[in-house]
Amino acid sequence: METKKRKISSYIEHNNLLLENIMKDFSNYIYSIARNSYYSLSDEDIEEIVVDVLFTIWKNQEKLDINNKMSSYIAGITKNLVKKKYRNAKINVNIDDYEEQLIDFDNIELQYAKKENMLKYVDCLKDEDKKIFIYYYYDEKTIKDISKEINMSESKIKSKLFRIRKKIKKIFKESGYNLDDR
């Protein structure tokens, strides 16, 4: 059976969570999600996130729904730990925080492939525009937060985001990608 589709129950033996098996099966998966969630994470940051995800699963093992896929829990926890890391919050997590945010593995690879592809187009932008775009779309910061961080008015941020989207759309068209075929 493919690892990513295995249910949580396959990682439990005699009421004990087989953490070593989870580590073996999912460390690369966690690493890949973290790397693709925030492209400027250092390897040390990602390794820390891998450990934090595994610790969260271990700490909350009695709360896991054994009928769900392990990959769904891991993907949701990883994505949220990456967000928390960059909001400078302490990592004190509970599995209940992620129940509503389970991610279907069948779609996650496609989502990350799209993000990777988009980053190629973002590299064509000026540094300031690239920073605004990444803050807004990848780091999911609010316009207000971006405004404070880069010391620019909110209306200017909105205007820049509009122009950036227009520019990226133009780059897509010039590259032969038809936006009307979506």
Is-contact 103 79, C-beta < 8 A? yes
Q: What is the pLDDT of residue 4?
A: 61
Q: What is the pLDDT of residue 112?
A: 61
Top-level CATH class of 124-181?
Answer: mainly alpha
| Three-state secondary structure of the chain | CCHHHCEHHHHEECCEECHHHHHHHHHHHHHHHHHHHCCCCCHHHHHHHHHHHHHHHHHCHHHCCCCCEHHHHHHHHHHHHHHHHCCCCCCCCCHHHHHHHCCCHHHHHHHHHHHHHHHHHHCCCCHHHHHHHHHHHCCCCCHHHHHHHHCCCHHHHHHHHHHHHHHHHHHHHHCCCCHHHC
Q: What is the pLDDT of residue 3?
A: 59
Is domain 3-106 in CATH 1.10.1740, yes or no?
yes
Does the pTM exceed 0.75?
A: no
Q: What is the pLDDT of residue 90?
A: 42
Domain chopping of the chain, boundaries: 3-106, 124-181
Question: In this structure, what token pair is assigned to residue 11?
Answer: 């990682």
Q: What is the pLDDT of residue 108?
A: 59
Q: What is the pLDDT of residue 18?
A: 81
| Alpha-carbon dihedral sign for residues 86, 51, 101, 94 | negative
Q: What is the pLDDT of residue 137?
A: 75
Mind listing the pLDDT tens digit of every residue in the chain (182 residues)?
365 677 888 888 887 888 888 888 888 888 888 877 766 677 788 888 888 888 888 888 888 888 888 888 888 888 888 887 766 434 445 555 555 555 555 555 656 666 666 666 677 778 888 888 888 877 778 889 999 999 999 999 999 988 888 887 777 677 665 555 44
Q: What is the pLDDT of residue 161?
A: 87
Q: What is the pLDDT of residue 91?
A: 43
